Chain A
Amino acid sequence: MAAHNLKHALFCAFITLIISYPILGFDLTSRGTTVVLEGVNTTTSIGVLAAVIIVFLFQYFRDSVMGSLRQLPAINPLANREPMEQSKRLKLESILLTLMIIGALIWPFIASRGAVDLATLVLIYIMLALGLNVVVGLAGLLDLGYVAFYAVGAYTFALLSQYYGISFWFALPIGAGLAALFGLVLGFPVLRLRGDYLAIVTLGFGEIIRILLNNMTSLTGGPNGIGGIPDPTLFGMEFGRRVKEEGNTSFHETFGIAYSGEHKVIFLYLIALVLAVITAIAIRRLMRMPVGRAWEALREDEIAAKSLGLSRTAVKLSAFTIGAFFAGFAGTVFASKQGFISPESFVFLESAIILAIVVLGGMGSQMGVILAAIAVTILPELAREFSEYRMLIFGAAMVLMMVWRPQGLMPMRRIHIELKRQE
């Protein structure tokens, strides 16, 4: 055992050395016209050496270290408690949710402008992730091109406002509806596909939309994007310093307060909050309705579902359509928040991040997805001071997460249904 441990520890230490030394130890510096490889400075090599020793020691004493770590849960008083009663838990949950929403309503008035702006982005991601949760978490259809529907929503609003001067409130249902239509259209060709094949086709679809937007220069402005997207209005009141459109009044003049750029940011945040809450409630209801159960049945066993009279076509298309609908919602808000959109905002990485949120949160679990959306959006911002290492930290966090809690932050919990005994 000890010999095996020693061998393993030496191997791990060696790997650490050959990975970290070349990456951290050398610097490329330009001297005149040539590039020179500079050697190690002492602090770095000491650091590398320390890392190698730590890895070696950890691996060598691995059994005892992990053993003592396993003792930890015993210290945690909550580890072995009885699960809470259904009614009690529901009450607690609804109280917590109400408090959270009230907090979210008050919060923008005390937080800084940048923080509110970031929070709006978080809410947009919550909407996106809740929508994708329907497709991936509930219906079990791996969709890698989800960002396409987000783009459809955003571009619908941008184009409608540019060509027809349509306002945010009219564009919102149109954008969501059009995104839903695209979801339906994508649904047809992929009806028969599952798993990996479905993932590839949806990936392709996502890219098609982005490339189309990039190349239809006359309509969409191509890579230059579309700017000057109007902000939402509150009953015809604009939030700018001066009124842009005739017939509108401005918010600060109506209420006789001094103009402040923050009003607009807060207003957008509140819109996003309301829409996110609507999204969450609507999907929550859907999950408990026949259609929601049909999605899950299809994920669990397609053949059994069909044998019970569920139409695969209808169930899959409804999942795609409803998922896309909420992405369209989010897209419209995004366009309005940014005021400028270009295909750059809708690259594959976005799809990957939204998918990561759903998986991290726990497939099918709404609370989990919301928490993960907050974490995934805010963490990179908090880790900004680590500059180039922040993506590394983000990646490491994800790996650790998947190792320790593969079922996600808050795995989906089945609803308890009370039955009355029938005579």
Chain B
Amino acid sequence: MLEVQNLSMRFGGLLAVDQVSLDVQEHEIVAIIGPNGAGKTTVFNCMSGFYKPSGGKILFEGRDIQGKPDYKISRLGLVRTFQHVRLFSRMTVVENLLVAQHRHLNTNLLSGILKTPNYREKEQKSLDRAAYWLDRVGLMDMANRDAGNLAYGQQRRLEIARCMVTEPKLLMLDEPAAGLNPAETKDLNQLIISLKEDYNVSVVLIEHDMSLVMDISDRINVINQGRPLASGTPDEIRRNDDVIKAYLGEA
């Protein structure tokens, strides 16, 4: 469903991403790994429209999306999280989820001010969806707390829930396990697999935690210094000499 062809991104004299290609099929978890500064997040930023790529093509469900504004890409069903949690921290947990459903609640101003039945029904639907996902990520009891006051692991889960209420087709997770303890990482593991199995969402993730990556990914792409280094199933990557060299240095 997503196809990235020969993507390049240049910042002045620096070629941060050079001819990277990857593809994501429906019902698949694809990981992007690589050493720090390899350009993984830059690839994400290009895919989600935060950067306009200098070269290459990005196709989502057969449509060209490179250079489209970020919010339009997200409305197509390609939603991302961030390396550092970006919640609306002075709003409550529920409100965070309601904001995300803005486009589902596309009502005009007057019907909202007058509280027409149609508006109420839509509002109730989005509340129900928010409740469902809060329950799913175990934050139901926190619903009316300020998002900024949650523990870090809870903030991470809320961020994923916030993406899921938009009903995405493809979810892009940028280092979802960063800062989580082993138990939380295990929960996250299960959550991501269930997103694929139960909600039919494809996932692209950037991650440094190798056990997580190897466990859940269907395929892995390795990027090193902006260039594609290898791609394949977790087993293939584990045995790939180039990858071992890039990570451990030459013996």
Q: Which residues of A contact B (CB under 8 A)?
A: 282, 285-286, 289-291, 293-294, 296-297, 300-301, 303-312, 414-417, 419-422
Contact = CB atoms under 8 A, between A and B. Distances in A.
A289 B126 CA distance: 12
B117 to A, nearest CB: 15
Contact of A311 (B71, B89, B130, B140): B71
B1 interface: no
Nearest to B136: A422
A300 to B, nearest CB: 4
B130 A419 contact: yes
B140 A419 contact: yes
8 contacts: A285-B115, A290-B105, A291-B109, A300-B88, A300-B89, A309-B74, A310-B102, A417-B143
Contact of B75 (A296, A309, A415, A421): A309
Contacts of B91: 293, 296-297, 300, 414
Interface in B94-124: 94-95, 98-103, 105, 107, 109, 112-113, 115
Interface in B68-105: 69-72, 74-75, 79-80, 82, 86-92, 94-95, 98-103, 105
**Size class of B's contact patch?**
35 or more
Contacts of B99: 290, 293-294, 296-297, 305, 308, 310
B111 to A, nearest CB: 9
Contacts of A291: 109, 112
Contacts of A421: 131, 135, 140
Contacts of B80: 307
A293 B102 contact: yes
Given A304-B86, A310-B71, 8 more contacts: A300-B90, A309-B103, A311-B69, A414-B144, A417-B127, A417-B144, A420-B128, A421-B131
Interface string B228-247: 00000000000000000000
A415 B50 CA distance: 32
A421 B132 CA distance: 7
Contacts of A290: 98-99, 101-102, 105, 107, 112
Contact of B113 (A285, A297, A303, A417): A285
Contacts of B95: 293, 296, 414, 417
Contacts of A422: 128, 131-132, 135
Nearest to A314: B71
B166 A293 contact: no
A300 B100 CA distance: 13
B144 A297 contact: no
B184 interface: no
Nearest to A303: B86
A401 to B, nearest CB: 21
B160 interface: no
B17 interface: no
A377 to B, nearest CB: 28
B4 interface: no
Nearest to B145: A414
A309 B166 contact: yes
A421 B140 CA distance: 8
Contacts of B94: 417, 419
B144 A416 contact: yes
A306 B74 contact: yes
